[in-house]
Structures are given as C-alpha cells and as structure tokens.
A and B are shown apart, each in its own frame.
Chain A
Amino acid sequence: MADLSVNIAGVHFKNPIIAASGTIGFGHEYSEFYPLSVFGGISCKGTTLKERPGNPPPRIAETPMGMLNAVGLQNPGVDHFIEYDLPWLKKQDTVAIANVAGSTQDDYCRMAEILSETDIDMIELNISCPNVKEGGVQFGTSCESVAAITKAVRACCGKPLIIKLSPNVSDIASIAKAAESEGADAVSLINTLTGMRIDINTRRPIIRNITGGMSGPAVFPVAVRMVWQVKNAVSIPVIGMGGITTWKDAVEMMMAGADAIQIGTALFTDPYSPVKIAEGLNAYLDKNGMKSATELTHTVITG
C-alpha cells in the first residue's frame, strides 16, 4: 500500500483525487453512492455572491468522447453555501474547496473575504468559466488581468488560493506565471474548452447558450499538454484535470506535472470512477516500487 497523500499549499489531501467543480454540486448527491471521504478533496459548484438562476435549457450536448455544458453558474449564493452546505461538507472527511466566481473584481474579493471567515479549507478562483456573459473567463485570458485579479484577491484572502485557468488562451504557461507572481498558492487546469454543436435538422445550436464548455476524454491530450507546459513554468503546485477517466489517465496526468488531479465528467459516466482510480493508482505505485504518489509528479522523460 503506497502513500497516496499529497500536500497542496500546506493542505493535506489523503489522496490526489479531487472532485472537479460543477460536476458534484456540494457533494450531497454523490454521497448516496459512497462516503465522500473517497475523495482527497471536493471542489464545490462555482458559487457567487448572490444566487444565480443559470442559463436557459438545453444546457447539455454530447460530443464524441465528451460533452458540452452551459449551465451558467446556477448556484444558491455564498450565504446559502455557508449556512447549509459547508457545515455538512466539513463533516465528510475530505478537503473542502470553495470555487468562487463573480462578475467584477470586487465580487471576487468580497467572496474571498466572506469565505476566509469560514472553515473552508481552500479557495479556487474560477476565472475561466466560458458560459457567463460577465466575468468568468474575461478575467482569465490575459497575463495582465490574471495578475490583477490574483493580486486583489490575494490581499483579502486568508485561505490557500488556487487559480483555475482557462485553456482558451494562446500561452497558458505565461498566465500561470502571472498568477504565481501575484501570490497564487497553486493553479488548477484546465477548465473547459469552448465548443459548439448544431442540430442539422433544425439548424439551431443544440445548446441554448449557443456555445458551451467541452469536457470529457476528448480533451485529455490537450489537458496533459497544458499541465506539462505549466509545470515547466511555475514552482507552485499544479492540479491537473481535463478528461481524466481511468487510473491510467491519472498516472499520465501526474507524470505530465500534476501534484493532484480533478475528476469531473468521468463521474457522469461512472459515479464510482474515483474509487476505481484510487485503487488503480495504488496498484500502479506498488507494482512499480514507488512509496508515494508524489514520486509520479512531473516525471515524464522528454529528453
């Protein structure tokens, strides 16, 4: 039995498997399948200052080995989260991560202040949501804007701060460096790739929002490449995600440079995928004589 635990920005995770924001809500529904302690951590549904209704349906479209979504940050607001979801989540023996979104820089700062007064373990700054009209990805696509919002939130955030990066950029390594230079404790990537599908019978986009964020196994090679590029550029921990479905994907993502990983769309295909990934990861480490999951990180041989 290898040691699966990892340390991200001073926070201990019993294993490197984190549920990705937006795919598991606040954890309640998946706790019907298994104790949430199977996860090293849970990144909660993107939360905003005030309740958001989300986008009109349809919000979902399937794609070859993947899917598009445009939920549009539907959430009950941060106060509801703190009152009803966080106390329960804190009892589930897993690291609780708040995923924070907003329309303005002030929104993000106010959210960080409010959450810093709670017992949330970490904050993940969502500056990469492609499905909202204001905010979201607009803060995440240039080095200047990423540096500015990281600096502003860092100044009012008393929790370890993860910046979640968008893949819809030309140079993700520079953006990661900008976040690191302004005090990010870790970066997580990739959020979804903007995509679109059209119903050829109606000539209408399948998703009412027209475009949506693409996730699932189809994006995995893009995610591996970006995690590798970012790990080469920064010295803070990197949380890798994007299409991880099996334990082999998890091993590959860690070899590319991930200190921990997030699982999202795979939960929809198989709710038990995190349990299977933890088992497979452990078996791989044992088989290869590794004592700790940390021995995998950034070990890809490129020379």
Chain B
Amino acid sequence: MKSGTVIIGLGNPQLSDDGVGIAVANEIARRSELDDLTLLELNGGGIRLMEAMAGYQRAVVVDAMLTGSEPGTVRRFDPDDFVTTKNSYSSHDTDFGTAFQAGLLLGIPLPELVSFWGVEVLECGVFSEELSDVVAAAVPLAAELIVNELKNSEVMR
C-alpha cells in the first residue's frame, strides 16, 4: 500500500553547497503547508535512493547539480530526462534508473510520481556547513517551486 509524499534531500551538509538539497527539503518541511509529507536526508543516489522511496505514492528528490549554468539556477527533471548509460557511475552503486527498474522488477512498492530538482552549485569541494550566498538565496525559490507543484499535482490523498 502506497501513500503520502517523501521529500528526499540528497547531499552532504558538511560539504558547502553540496548540502543545498537538504536545505531545500528542510525549507519545504518548515513551511509545512502540505499534509502527509515525510522528510528524508540521504547521501547516496542509487539503490539506497530507490529503497528510500518505497511505500510512498510520490517522491521528490532535491540535489545539488553542476551543469555549468548560473549558480543558484533551479531546474526540474523527470527521471526520463536523464541520459543514462545504465552503467555504474560509482563502483559502489548503480545509477538510479537501474535501481528503480530493479525495484519494480522485484515488486517493491515504488511511487508512480518521481521528480528531481537540482540547484546549480558554486562550491562543493570544501568542507563547510555554509552555503554560498547565491546558492542560499535559491533555497526559498526552489522550495516554493516544489511546494507549488505538489499542491497542484493530481495525487489524491
């Protein structure tokens, strides 16, 4: 039985802007405009991410991204948007698409709706608990975009 929404902040809050996904997830929780919302902090993107979504009707993943656009840029992705080689990115993990497909094959109750949100970062190679100013400024914006989408989406609780 699947129910509710899980917001997964992905990243390391001790690695500068790498923690932006967690900051956005916390901001969404702080606004608490939505019912039946679970907040999770996670540090790995493959099998563990798939497992973290199990049992929810909807999953929203927020992470730092490095695409070369302006730091602070917020972008939304569907899982299908990613060009994936289906190869292992990390010798420790499989990519999310493979993990998700494997989960479906194994009968794990995975959400029908999965969205990914990325916030372009400036610095994620230095240990610090502070976000860059420009990235910190994007946190409320990202939270608002995500909350609006959740409110307007068609999932019935």
Q: Do A and B bind each other?
A: no
Interface of A toward B, CB cutoff 8 Å: none
